[in-house]
Structure 1
Amino acid sequence: MTSDDGARPQRTDRRFTGDPTRARLLEAALDSFSTKGFHGTSTRMIAARAGLSPAAVYVHHRTKEEILFQISRDGHQEALDVVLAAIDSEATPPGRLRAIVRDFATWHARRHTLARVVQYEMAALTPEHADLIAALRRHTHNAVRGVVLAGIERGDFTVRDPESTTVALLSLGIDVARWYRADGAWTPQRVGEDYAELALRLVGHSPGASRNQDDEASLAR
């Protein structure tokens, strides 16, 4: 089985670990949700795509919505992990922001099928499940907002509203899942690099200003 961009699945992909039958059901459901939408997909369709009987679906999941929730939770957790790893990989707000947007956009391109489903089928979740997904989304939002606030405090970023800026930065990556196609002209890495540069421009980052601040901090020590 391959990932969206034709590469072998990454080991961190939660859907390819654990119970093989359950993984097949999740993969079949993801394929169907991505092409027919949640409401256009039946449990019988999912079972047929997985090569199983309809009854086998209910051994692992009580409802079709529960399958969507599992896919959505795994996808949002993957995206959050990408953001947190990007933050840990750099020391300064500009470096962290660049890494976040680069890796977040790259993930949405590489995993565009999964990302489309988890981002655009949320309305089908139950209120309880929607609240759990919203908590993951807030964690992602707050992590990025923290980087934006740190950049404003240091004078690296010149934006007036950190909240709307955070929404705009995350939207750059999320929207990639809507339009990206594996057979298009851009690779996931190219999308990530280009969007990272756009993000730094969006926050008004001046590389020279941050270097001067770092130099001043070093002299003060």
Structure 2
Amino acid sequence: MAGRTGTETVPGAETPSTPSGAPQRLLSAAVEAFAEHGFHATTTRDIAGRAGMSPAALYIHYRTKEELLYHISRLGHERSVRILTEASARPGGAAERLSAAIGAFVRWHADRRATARVVQYELGALADEHATEIRGLRRRSSEILRAILAGGVAAGEFRIDDVRTTARAMLSLCVDVARWFDPAGPESSERLAARYADLALRMAGASR
């Protein structure tokens, strides 16, 4: 895993359903620990210590380490669905909606890279019931993007032979940003988002 990234609040912190206080501190500490060491190499003692709490206090709020991962993953994937839903509802044509969707998705993965790495790359550690729920949210994100692309094809804005594969490729490119993006590097998240939005339009064969 990448090195220490600094504490991030968990995704979706602006929503009423997101925990606050001690539960929020534990989620943020878990994001930091999982991003730095990976889920399996992280202990509950490490998470509690980062949150300034005792290990026993952690279990008051979360029964297991996996439950912490589940909450982080659920909030992150719900945020992904909101980003894509809001973009798909924008006025204008399919090109504007696709550009907005990819740009916002890339910026989230760059600006919240520690959270995004945990959300996207620790899925295998989830319990079966939780994994099923998260897969449903991931399918919903894919469906929203496919609908934007299919709408563009129907309107004559895009030239795509295989909408499903194109959507999968676009989402994969966005997700991978969390793995390598460096905020100290030469390119800002805003500029990267614009470049990826332009790349998505080219992949879609958007008329210029």
For residue 132 of structure 2, what is the aligned residue in structure 1?
131
For residue 216 of structure 1, what is the aligned residue in structure 2?
none
CA contact (8 A) 1:116 1:178 kept: yes
Overall identity of the aligned pairs, in %: 42
Greater shift, 80-89 or 61-70, is seen at 80-89
- Pairing 1:165-176 to 2, within 5 Å after superposition: 165-176=166-177
Indicate how the Cα distance of structure 1 residues 41 and 5 shifts in structure 2: closer, same or farther if over 3 A, else same: closer
AA of the residue aligned to 2:90: S
Listed one character per residue, the Cα deviations across residues 94-130 of structure 1 (whole Å, up to 9, x for unaligned) are 1111111111111111111100100000000011100
Listed one character per residue, the Cα deviations across residues 122-144 of structure 1 (whole Å, up to 9, x for unaligned) are 00001110000011111110001
For residue 145 of structure 2, what is the aligned residue in structure 1?
144
CA distance in 2, matches of 1:35, 1:62: 22
For residue 160 of structure 2, what is the aligned residue in structure 1?
159
CA shift, 1:68, in A, is 0.2
CA shift, 1:18, in A, is 3.8
Q: How many residues align?
A: 204
CA shift, 1:11, in A, is 8.0
- Pairing 1:36-47 to 2, within 5 Å after superposition: 36-47=37-48
Greater shift, 111-120 or 5-14, is seen at 5-14
CA distance in 2, matches of 1:188, 1:5: 17
- Pairing 1:19-38 to 2, within 5 Å after superposition: 19-38=20-39
For 2:134, what is the secondary structure of its paired residue? helix
Where does the alignment leave 5 or more consecutive residues of structure 2 unmatched? Answer: none
Specify which structure has the higher proportion of helix: 1
Where does the alignment leave 5 or more consecutive residues of structure 1 unmatched? Answer: 208-221
AA of the residue aligned to 1:153: A
Please report the TM-score for the alignment, with normalisation by the length of structure 2.
0.91
CA contact (8 A) 1:14 1:74 kept: no
- Pairing 1:105-116 to 2, within 5 Å after superposition: 105-116=106-117
- Pairing 1:51-130 to 2, within 5 Å after superposition: 51-130=52-131
AA of the residue aligned to 2:101: I
Cα RMSD for the two superposed structures: 2.3
CA distance in 1, matches of 2:33, 2:9: 21
Indicate how the Cα distance of structure 1 residues 136 and 187 shifts in structure 2: closer, same or farther if over 3 A, else same: same
Indicate how the Cα distance of structure 1 residues 10 and 119 shifts in structure 2: closer, same or farther if over 3 A, else same: closer
For 1:30, what is the secondary structure of its paired residue? helix
For 1:24, what is the secondary structure of its paired residue? helix
Indicate how the Cα distance of structure 1 residues 5 and 100 shifts in structure 2: closer, same or farther if over 3 A, else same: farther
For residue 188 of structure 2, what is the aligned residue in structure 1?
187
Listed one character per residue, the Cα deviations across residues 162-182 of structure 1 (whole Å, up to 9, x for unaligned) are 100110111121110010122
Greater shift, 149-158 or 64-73, is seen at 149-158
Please report the TM-score for the alignment, with normalisation by the length of structure 1.
0.86
CA shift, 1:90, in A, is 3.1
